[in-house]
Homo-oligomer: A and B are copies of this chain.
Amino acid sequence: MYYFNTNFICKSKVVLSIPEHEVIFQPEGKRLKVKDGQTIFEAALSGGVDLVSICGGAGSCGKCKIIIEKGASVNSITQEERKLLTKNDLNQGMRLACQTKIYGNIIVKVPEHSRTGKQRLQIEGIDTPIKLEPSVNKFYIELNKPTLKDPKADVDRIKLELYAKFKLIDLNINFDLMTNFSKILRDSDWKITIVIWNDEIIAIEPADTTNRIFGYAVDIGTTKLAGYLIDLNTGKVLAAGSLMNPQIPFGEDIISRMNYEDKDKLQAAVIEGLNKILEELKEKTGIKSKEIYEMTAVGNTAMHHLFFRINTKFLGYAPYPPVVRESIVINSNKIGINIHPNGKIYFLPLIAGYVGADNVAVILATEIYKNDKICLTLDIGTNTEVALGNKEKILSCSCASGPAFEGAQIKFGMRAASGAIERVKIDPKSLSLTYKTIDNESPKGICGSAMVDLLAEMLKSGIIDVTGKFNKKIEDPKIRAVDQILELVIVPEKENGTDEDIIFSQTDVRQIILAKAAMRSGIEILLKNYGLKIEDVDKLFIAGAFGNFIDKENARIIGMYPEIDLKKVTYVGNAAGTGARMCLVSKNAKKIVEEISKKVIYVELGADKDFQNTFLNANFLPYSDLEKQPEISKLLKECGNFPERPPHIFK
């Protein structure tokens, strides 16, 4: 046979027409061939170089700072860079990787603060007990061979035996399986294991394999993917893993991904990511793809639509209608998830455009849908979903809390990776500041939990007032003005792992207040719509990627949530992942989530006449109406920082 390698030809043609250059990324030492005119960001992306970006190369976040160490064949500084880089940056020869095009061989240095490091991803969630009754089950049978007296169809033979032995009825058979299983029957001497998903026969295996039934539960976050490999005979998690969502390079936030042209790429990226985690879990456990018969998935509505490649064009615009709300089941081979080719993908149902399957899963995992008492859930992320209610009624909404807590829009903001400052304490009297970093590494930036601490500590110590404004009167070497903007130096350059002071500025404070105000106003609007006060709430569940790391009291001090007894506050970790796992091990959980999806009443904050005033009230620390926050008021009084003039209450 004549074999013609088209790939090779195409490649060599490209070589002839477009020159290639070599880029070395330091300190990793990674060498890459790049095409003429590619940006350093694109090169780093394709080569897996650890380089921070929040905007995904759009030239708007200013995080992907690099230094050209050797070589000069690049374009000159762009307008975006002039805007985003400081004079100091420019003096050091700093460039933005996404703005710098490569026209010759160069050596690029990625400074410490432009590297992500090993990220801490919350994958553990509460374990909500549930009866083991997975959708996938196996049945071992031994059949009589066909004879002239009994020449019935192979499928009928199997079904009759499944009825005789297990009283199973009304079974279907997967079409792809049907086309090729008959040889397996003969080869295994008619001793076989039948794998059934609900009422569909999805696999037929030689001999008795009933002790091996596995499933894969995943949580598709905007930022992070988490996966759990589960033994469906015991319900136990055998291994768990996580990965940054490989869609991030195509857009950090949901909106930019929904606007990204090539949706096929986005779909391919997330599926590749889920397969990558699975590969790792399989290696850890020695389980094979063909032994994994179902994947259950949760994610917000945008992640859901992008995963299935459902049109997201209209989801991005008010009134943000999703295309579909109900759960979706498809065959794994339809979409390329590397479990058994006839295995099923079950995606939990949604509630609305901005309240997705992840929130349905949180409601399932926290069991508020069957609680007699009123519960509140807060799933903190770029969008924070709030649910309020009990077995009678549940309201939900989505708050545009934004990516500030994840590091975006905050000058030294970063994700919860090694070297991120995660705890800050300020002595109200001496104003001396102490901090703790993740993995106790040299500090590189500030992650979400420390931002909450900072706001609370700065409020208590009077560095900021209830409006979030820096107190100009305080004299402390850590507080200074740069370009007329006040800022607090957290770690001076000489003590940290970067080449500049790590600071937290007035602008940063404003961003965090906006984020917490979004959450708080969501909670307030739900309480109002339900006709409840915070005292009526029996439990507050905090879920989400960084939820568990927040200091409950500090979060309450800054007014992220109303003044609730802290004993009522419970961390539930990745409760969305817990919900996905519950649906994997329990058919009944699948029924419950359908009910939740139908029952939960979505409240569109933008359509509530009180939303704007509530949001303005929530822009105070902790909230405009201090009388309703007696404990914090008392605390502020003790610190001597209770405001002389009470904040304006918008009504």
| A319 contacts B148, C-beta separation under 8 Å | yes
How far, in whole Å, are A109 and B314 apart by their CA atoms in the complex? Answer: 66
Which residue of B17, B153, B319, B325 is within 8 Å of A350 (Cβ)? Answer: B153
Which residue of B150, B173, B179 is within 8 Å of A309 (Cβ)? Answer: B179
How far, in whole Å, are A156 and B326 apart by their CA atoms in the complex? Answer: 9
Q: How many copies does the complex hold?
A: 2
Q: Would you call A10 an interface residue if the criterion is a C-beta within 8 Å of the partner chain's C-beta atoms?
A: yes
| A179 contacts B319, C-beta separation under 8 Å | no
| A152 contacts B182, C-beta separation under 8 Å | no
| A148 contacts B318, C-beta separation under 8 Å | yes
- When distances are taken between beta carbons in the complex, the residues of chain B under 8 Å from A151 are 319-321, 352-353, 602, 604
Q: Would you call A268 an interface residue if the criterion is a C-beta within 8 Å of the partner chain's C-beta atoms?
A: no
| A9 contacts B13, C-beta separation under 8 Å | no
Nearest neighbor of A263 in chain B, beta-carbon distance: B179
Q: Which of A178, A321, A324, A328 has the most CB of B within 10 A?
A: A321
0/1 interface trace, chain A 146-163, chain B, CB 8 Å (1 if under): 111111111111000000
| A326 contacts B155, C-beta separation under 8 Å | yes
- When distances are taken between beta carbons in the complex, the residues of chain B under 8 Å from A17 are 2
How far, in whole Å, are A328 and B154 apart by their CA atoms in the complex? Answer: 15
How far, in whole Å, are A320 and B322 apart by their CA atoms in the complex? Answer: 51
Nearest neighbor of A184 in chain B, beta-carbon distance: B311
| B6 contacts A319, C-beta separation under 8 Å | no
- When distances are taken between beta carbons in the complex, the residues of chain B under 8 Å from A353 are 151
Nearest neighbor of A334 in chain B, beta-carbon distance: B175
| B4 contacts A155, C-beta separation under 8 Å | no
How far, in whole Å, are A152 and B314 apart by their CA atoms in the complex? Answer: 12
Which residue of B148, B157, B310, B334 is within 8 Å of A604 (Cβ)? Answer: B148
Going nearest first, the 4 A-B pairs with the smallest beta carbon separation are A151-B319, A148-B607, A153-B325, A146-B321
| B325 contacts A152, C-beta separation under 8 Å | yes
- A151-B319, A152-B321 known; 18 new pairs, CB 8 Å cut-off, are A4-B10, A148-B318, A148-B606, A149-B604, A153-B321, A153-B350, A154-B322, A156-B325, A157-B321, A175-B330, A178-B323, A179-B309, A179-B310, A179-B311, A181-B311, A181-B323, A182-B311, A182-B314
Nearest neighbor of A598 in chain B, beta-carbon distance: B156
| B155 contacts A323, C-beta separation under 8 Å | yes
Q: What are 21 contact pairs spanning A and B, CB under 8 A? A: A2-B10, A2-B13, A4-B9, A4-B10, A146-B321, A149-B604, A149-B607, A151-B352, A152-B352, A153-B321, A153-B324, A153-B350, A154-B323, A155-B323, A156-B325, A157-B321, A178-B308, A178-B324, A180-B310, A181-B323, A182-B313
Q: Would you call A494 an interface residue if the criterion is a C-beta within 8 Å of the partner chain's C-beta atoms?
A: no
- When distances are taken between beta carbons in the complex, the residues of chain B under 8 Å from A153 are 321-325, 350, 352
| A308 contacts B4, C-beta separation under 8 Å | no
0/1 interface trace, chain A 300-339, chain B, CB 8 Å (1 if under): 0000000011110110001111111110101000100000
- When distances are taken between beta carbons in the complex, the residues of chain B under 8 Å from A313 are 182-183
How far, in whole Å, are A17 and B4 apart by their CA atoms in the complex? Answer: 14
How far, in whole Å, are A109 and B289 apart by their CA atoms in the complex? Answer: 59
Nearest neighbor of A16 in chain B, beta-carbon distance: B2
Q: Which of A593-614 contact B (CB under 8 A)?
A: 602, 604, 606-607
The verdict on A175 contacting B328 (CB below 8 Å), with A150-B319, A352-B151, A604-B149 known, is yes
Nearest neighbor of A180 in chain B, beta-carbon distance: B311
Question: What's the minimum C-beta distance from A370 to chain B, rounded to whole angstroms?
Answer: 24
0/1 interface trace, chain A 161-193, chain B, CB 8 Å (1 if under): 000000000000101001111110010000000
- When distances are taken between beta carbons in the complex, the residues of chain B under 8 Å from A352 are 151-153
Question: What's the minimum C-beta distance from A51 to chain B, rounded to whole angstroms?
Answer: 29
| B182 contacts A323, C-beta separation under 8 Å | yes
Q: Would you call A14 an interface residue if the criterion is a C-beta within 8 Å of the partner chain's C-beta atoms?
A: yes
- When distances are taken between beta carbons in the complex, the residues of chain B under 8 Å from A325 are 152-153, 155-156
Question: What's the minimum C-beta distance from A54 to chain B, rounded to whole angstroms?
Answer: 28
